[in-house]
Chain A
Amino acid sequence: MTAVPLETARRRGDRVPLDILLCLVFLGIVATIALCAPLLAPYDYATQNLTARFRPPVFWGGEWQYVLGTDNLGRCVLSRLLYGTQISIAVAFAGALLGAALGIVMGLIAAHFRGWIDDVVSLLVDVQAAVPTIIVALAALAFFGNDLVLFVILVGMHGWDQMARQTRGLVLAARAAGYAEAVAQIGARAPRVYFVHVLPNIAAALLVQVTLTFPATILLETSVSFLGLGIQPPMTSLGQMLGQGRLFLLNAWWIALLPGIVIFITTLSVSLVGDWLRDRFDPTLERHGER
């Protein structure tokens, strides 16, 4: 993630820059696809037409029946792309939420109890940060077999460490700020203090963290599926389409290229929006009155 210079943030002010606007529009389209893929897709993702294998997209000499062409089993690439986007986004979203929830809980526990519990959580965070998630995910899926629930859990393991570290720091800062202490003094129990008072105050920063982790989560899902684990055929995902399509790069490039483009633009858009949000909510900028 590239750091945004202060001058850039200043220039941006409250107006949404054009590039971010474009990213938001694209993400809106992706979100619509993710929600409505079955309504938008002309065919089911598994429907085969074996007499129409490797048909090119309409802009490459193909027919309107298959706008983005067909794959090696005569399945509509557009339909698979829509369903694939839905599945990839759903898995990444579920994984990101799981990771965020785990990270927040671990961060709260560490900040609340301190002492040896804090040390253990910090150790776990360091271990997680040191071991590449994709290696763990590949090993676990190869060992236990492909399972969607396991896959989502493994995707959720990605990025919880950053969330835990962030939460811990923010909670410690909130406690030092005094308002949490004041609420506790008037008799509120710890869960109420953290979930009703502290979390809403640090939510903006945590949301930014989620947007920063989300592209990596998408890439994790697509990478694992690309390598043949994760989402299994005939179900589809962007990574799986890319992985399957790479076998036909020389004679049917559209099978791999189109999901590749969607992955690229989606992760780029989320990253840019996350970067922009970070600038907007960065407390250091706030302190300098730069918002």
Chain B
Amino acid sequence: MTRVSRRTVVRAAVAAPAVVLTPHAFAQTDRRPVLTVAVADLPSVLEPALELNNVGTRVTYSLFDTVIRRDFLGAPDGGGAALKPHLAVSWQRESPRALVVRFRQGVKFHNGDDLTADDVLFTFREGRMWGANAQIPGARAFFGVLEGVDAIDRHTVRFRTRAPDVLMEQRLASWCSWIVNKRQYEALGMEGFGTNPVGTGPYRFVSMRANDHMTFDAFDQYWMGRPTARRVIFREIPELSARIAGLVSGEFDLITNVPPDQLQVLGAYADIEARSVVLANSHLLTFDATGPQTSDKRIRRALALSIDRKKLVDTLWLGRAVIPPSHNYPEYGPMFLENRSNPFDPERARALLREAGYAGQTITYRTMPNYYTGALDAVQIIIEMWKAVGIDARLQVVESFAQMQARGQQVGNTSNSTRFPDPLGALWISWGPNSSFQRNGWFAAEDARPFNEAGLALERAIDLPERRALFARMLDAWEDACPGTILYQPFETYGVKRRIGWRPYSFFFMDLRPDNLRFS
């Protein structure tokens, strides 16, 4: 039997505090602050291509890297569109249908693996992204043009498309091009990976609880350098007043989804700053072609024509939101079409209603209260505008997209982002054959036919005048079928503690990389 001497006990007693406190002491040496971000909503999983929405991309942007980086901060408004190296150090056109991309060496995943061509091939594999039965149908809208992805060597990959594609570089800098770790994904499957993601981003996943929080820790081997925050916590706080109160009290460092009404409130605190940006994202109304009344496109067009968007912008958004000329944005550059608009024409709306034989039947408008900033106010104003032309609309406030899109929906709301600066990166992704609107029949197949014909031709076209003409055809078809209508591009405001150096993008992405997050 081992004897325990008095001396041993004394030594143990002396050593105990050191043993117990050493890990703590090490933790204390990391003086980087914790960043707590209060958001209105959190995604349910962290599979980056599965959560292609406002709330998903906001957080997955810290866990994963895109192949190429879009330089949002290259423009003063946070909407720069130039491309710069990121995981890819260079890329070169081999032919109109092939792009060769050379990847950075020495990039580590959060599990210690090196980034190699295998991970890239796994990310862009047919079964996940672009095949007929792809795991993630929404990804087809981005990479459905692919024919194959080949490894040339350990760090070089060739992307081949079925037809000449002038946008592949933009696609690789956009949503959905986040590289996932092959080993982790194969071990856990899509579902498991969604709750235990491994990427190459500046922060690594630690924990999540549905509808509550997500915690990420700094990934100190990040190839762009050590992240500036020790930990990032995204907390779901649906109530605006609770988010503001938490920011004021110091519980949160940064809050999202602050409507213009509250700018004055934030301005009253010396240590808080409102940082706003007009989003490359539009709020829209959707008109369900399977619903009563809204199955008639004349009624859908009347609904769109009777909305006074300027009034909405001037009142709800203090004049700072932007009304784009239809689903058509200046950032398209040479593809932008002049002389388009979102007309407000109550007389024409009344005439269309008469023509359609509308006799005051109730039209149900469903919306979630907190998902889109200002949605509940906007809907109540719009219902009054419709009333003025004789449309009887009734509001139903629902709790989820599933409830909103359940049978019986006539009018709902959504938002469309310009994922890359081209109609194929916006209108086509949001409303094309791979969109939920067409897959679910809300944008009826018959109505969508001319739109799809023009869009498919646009995917293959490389000549600019031809592309512009095809885009005009596409837009005409979309406006004529009117499965939805643009309201405005909101300006998103963040409430931020002044000591935090951080600039928002024109997307919901929150870039917390070392070059865009500083503490003073």
Asked whether, in the complex, the Cβ of B403 is within 8 Å of the Cβ of A251, the reply is no
* CB nearest to B238 among chain A residues: A228
Question: Known contacts being A72-B261, A228-B369, A251-B262, is A145 close to B396, with CB within 8 Å?
Answer: yes
* CB nearest to B387 among chain A residues: A46
Q: Which of A233-250 contact B (CB under 8 A)?
A: 233-234, 246-250
Q: How far apart are the CA atoms of A192 and B381 in the complex, in Å?
A: 55
Say yes or no for B322: interface residue by CB 8 A criterion: no
Chain A 241-283 interface 0/1 with B at a Cβ cutoff of 8 Å (1 = within): 0000011111100000000000000000000000000000000
Asked whether, in the complex, the Cβ of A46 is within 8 Å of the Cβ of B396, the reply is no
Supply 27 A–B pairs (Cβ within 8 Å), ascending by A.
A46-B384, A48-B380, A53-B315, A54-B261, A72-B261, A72-B377, A73-B377, A73-B380, A73-B381, A74-B315, A145-B403, A146-B396, A146-B397, A232-B395, A232-B396, A232-B397, A233-B376, A233-B380, A233-B397, A234-B380, A246-B241, A247-B239, A247-B240, A250-B241, A250-B244, A250-B265, A251-B262
Q: How far apart are the CA atoms of A233 and B381 in the complex, in Å?
A: 11
Q: How far apart are the CA atoms of A53 and B369 in the complex, in Å?
A: 20
Residues of A contacting B398 in the complex (Cβ-Cβ under 8 angstroms):
145
Q: Which of B397-423 contact A (CB under 8 A)?
A: 397-399, 403
Residues of A that sit less than 8 Å from B by CB? 46, 48, 50-51, 53-54, 72-74, 142, 145-146, 228, 232-234, 246-251
A interface, by DSSP: helix, strand, loop or mixed? loop
Q: A50-B315, A73-B380 are in contact. List 5 more A-B contacts (CB 8 A).
A: A48-B384, A73-B377, A146-B397, A233-B376, A234-B380
Asked whether, in the complex, the Cβ of B395 is within 8 Å of the Cβ of A233, the reply is yes
Q: How far apart are the CA atoms of A90 and B375 in the complex, in Å?
A: 29
Q: How far apart are the CA atoms of A24 and B99 in the complex, in Å?
A: 82
Residues of A contacting B314 in the complex (Cβ-Cβ under 8 angstroms):
50
What is the distance, in angstroms, from A72's C-beta to the closest C-beta of chain B? 6
Residues of B contacting A54 in the complex (Cβ-Cβ under 8 angstroms):
261
Residues of A contacting B244 in the complex (Cβ-Cβ under 8 angstroms):
250
Say yes or no for B424: interface residue by CB 8 A criterion: no
Chain B 210-254 interface 0/1 with A at a Cβ cutoff of 8 Å (1 = within): 000000000000000000000000000001110010000000000
Q: How far apart are the CA atoms of A3 and B513 in the complex, in Å?
A: 63
Say yes or no for B340: interface residue by CB 8 A criterion: no
Q: How far apart are the CA atoms of A177 and B102 in the complex, in Å?
A: 97
Q: How far apart are the CA atoms of A53 and B383 in the complex, in Å?
A: 17
Q: How far apart are the CA atoms of A51 and B318 in the complex, in Å?
A: 11
Q: How far apart are the CA atoms of A248 and B314 in the complex, in Å?
A: 19
Chain B 288-315 interface 0/1 with A at a Cβ cutoff of 8 Å (1 = within): 0000000000000000000000010011
* CB nearest to A243 among chain B residues: B369
Residues of A contacting B520 in the complex (Cβ-Cβ under 8 angstroms):
none
Residue picked from A72, A232, A249, most chain B C-beta under 10 Å: A72
Asked whether, in the complex, the Cβ of B315 is within 8 Å of the Cβ of A51, the reply is yes
* CB nearest to B266 among chain A residues: A250
Say yes or no for B2: interface residue by CB 8 A criterion: no
* CB nearest to B259 among chain A residues: A247
Say yes or no for B29: interface residue by CB 8 A criterion: no
Q: How far apart are the CA atoms of A53 and B377 in the complex, in Å?
A: 12
- Which one, A50, A232, A248, contacts B261 given CB within 8 A? A248
What is the distance, in angstroms, from A287's C-beta to the closest C-beta of chain B? 53
What is the distance, in angstroms, from B349's C-beta to the closest C-beta of chain A? 19
- Which one, B262, B380, B399, contacts A142 given CB within 8 A? B399
Q: Which of B311-360 contact A (CB under 8 A)?
A: 311, 314-315
Say yes or no for B5: interface residue by CB 8 A criterion: no
Residues of A contacting B396 in the complex (Cβ-Cβ under 8 angstroms):
145-146, 232
Q: How far apart are the CA atoms of A232 and B397 in the complex, in Å?
A: 7
- Kindly list the 5 A-B residue pairs having the minimum CB-CB distance in the complex, ordered from nearest: A50-B315, A250-B265, A234-B380, A251-B265, A247-B240
Residues of B contacting A248 in the complex (Cβ-Cβ under 8 angstroms):
261
What is the distance, in angstroms, from A67's C-beta to the closest C-beta of chain B? 22
Residues of A contacting B395 in the complex (Cβ-Cβ under 8 angstroms):
232-234
Q: How far apart are the CA atoms of A246 and B311 in the complex, in Å?
A: 25
* CB nearest to B262 among chain A residues: A251
Asked whether, in the complex, the Cβ of B380 is within 8 Å of the Cβ of A228, the reply is no
Q: How far apart are the CA atoms of A251 and B260 in the complex, in Å?
A: 12
Residues of B contacting A232 in the complex (Cβ-Cβ under 8 angstroms):
395-397
Q: How far apart are the CA atoms of A267 and B397 in the complex, in Å?
A: 28
What is the distance, in angstroms, from A26's C-beta to the closest C-beta of chain B? 30
- Which one, A48, A249, A250, A251, contacts B381 given CB within 8 A? A48
Say yes or no for B8: interface residue by CB 8 A criterion: no
Residues of A contacting B381 in the complex (Cβ-Cβ under 8 angstroms):
48, 50, 73
Say yes or no for B264: interface residue by CB 8 A criterion: yes
- Which one, A53, A72, A146, A247, contacts B241 given CB within 8 A? A247
What is the distance, in angstroms, from B397's C-beta to the closest C-beta of chain A? 6
Q: How far apart are the CA atoms of A228 and B261 in the complex, in Å?
A: 20
Q: How far apart are the CA atoms of A244 and B241 in the complex, in Å?
A: 11
Residues of B contacting A46 in the complex (Cβ-Cβ under 8 angstroms):
380, 384
Q: How far apart are the CA atoms of A234 and B385 in the complex, in Å?
A: 13
Residues of B contacting A50 in the complex (Cβ-Cβ under 8 angstroms):
311, 314-315, 381
Chain B 255-274 interface 0/1 with A at a Cβ cutoff of 8 Å (1 = within): 00000011011000000000
- Which one, B264, B315, B384, B397, contacts A228 given CB within 8 A? B397
What is the distance, in angstroms, from A45's C-beta to the closest C-beta of chain B? 11
What is the distance, in angstroms, from B391's C-beta to the closest C-beta of chain A? 14
* CB nearest to A47 among chain B residues: B384
* CB nearest to A141 among chain B residues: B399
Residues of A contacting B397 in the complex (Cβ-Cβ under 8 angstroms):
146, 228, 232-233
Q: How far apart are the CA atoms of A54 and B259 in the complex, in Å?
A: 14
- Which one, B241, B377, B403, contacts A249 given CB within 8 A? B241
